[in-house]
A and B are shown apart, each in its own frame.
Chain A
Amino acid sequence: GIQVEQSPPDLILQEGANSTLRCNFSDSVNNLQWFHQNPWGQLINLFYIPSGTKQNGRLSATTVATERYSLLYISSSQTTDSGVYFCAVDETKTSYDKVIFGPGTSLSVIP
């Protein structure tokens, strides 16, 4: 099945710094999503981005489907950005829904 990798696994940032999180996937995908899981466990959908670029405030994401990767940019980080960021992809070649999550990037933003 499809493999999803994320890098870096852990990241510590000073408040105000910028960062780039990467998601690589091993095969073609139907959909790609970025999620944020806050320290209290709540999962928030950030972007639905099978291709192209989207921006939402300080966050933006780019997916290059032909090269099988997606990037999540966080600018001017804030302590509330702390948590785990997951990318998830939807396989194209299975006959059933198979959403595969990456292992996540754990982000800590310190004041």
Chain B
Amino acid sequence: NAGVTQTPKFRVLKTGQSMTLLCAQDMNHEYMYWYRQDPGMGLRLIHYSVGEGTTAKGEVPDGYNVSRLKKQNFLLGLESAAPSQTSVYFCASSYSRDTLGEQYFGPGTRLTVT
């Protein structure tokens, strides 16, 4: 089992550029999440998905879009990157809502927007 993987690991964007972050999990988890972590802070939930074909907003969804076309993949898109989106992005997955605590995290993607 690879667990949760994220692609890419690092990326530098210019303001206004777009990109997609890929999260993949091989644990057959229903729930998947995207978080961002800013320096000195805990994680903040951007969007999440409770199953294939579903997505929902978290705490800080503005400026991001997501898609869950396949159960194992959760994509995070930035249509027009802004410097405020410079952050480390973590993807996570869990088996179900009731086992929210059993979250497994990817290694993170460090994004810099200049």
Contact = CB atoms under 8 A, between A and B. Distances in A.
Q: Is the interface of A mostly helix, strand, loop or mixed?
A: strand
Interface residues of B, number: 25
Interface in A82-110: 86, 88, 90, 96-104
Given A88-B43, A99-B45, A48 B102 contact: yes
Interface in B41-69: 41-45, 48, 56-59
A33 B59 CA distance: 18
B40 A31 contact: no
B42 A41 contact: no
Interface residues of A, number: 27
A47 interface: yes
A96 B57 contact: yes
A104 B41 CA distance: 7
Interface of A: 4, 30-33, 35, 41-45, 47-50, 86, 88, 90, 96-104
23 contacts: A4-B42, A30-B100, A33-B103, A41-B107, A41-B108, A43-B43, A43-B108, A45-B101, A45-B103, A48-B102, A49-B101, A86-B42, A86-B43, A88-B42, A96-B57, A96-B58, A99-B58, A101-B41, A101-B44, A102-B42, A103-B41, A104-B41, A104-B42
Interface of B: 33, 40-45, 48, 56-59, 88, 90, 92, 97, 99-105, 107-108
Given A90-B100, A98-B45, A99-B43, 13 more contacts: A33-B101, A35-B105, A42-B108, A43-B92, A43-B108, A48-B100, A86-B42, A97-B56, A97-B58, A99-B59, A99-B100, A102-B42, A104-B41
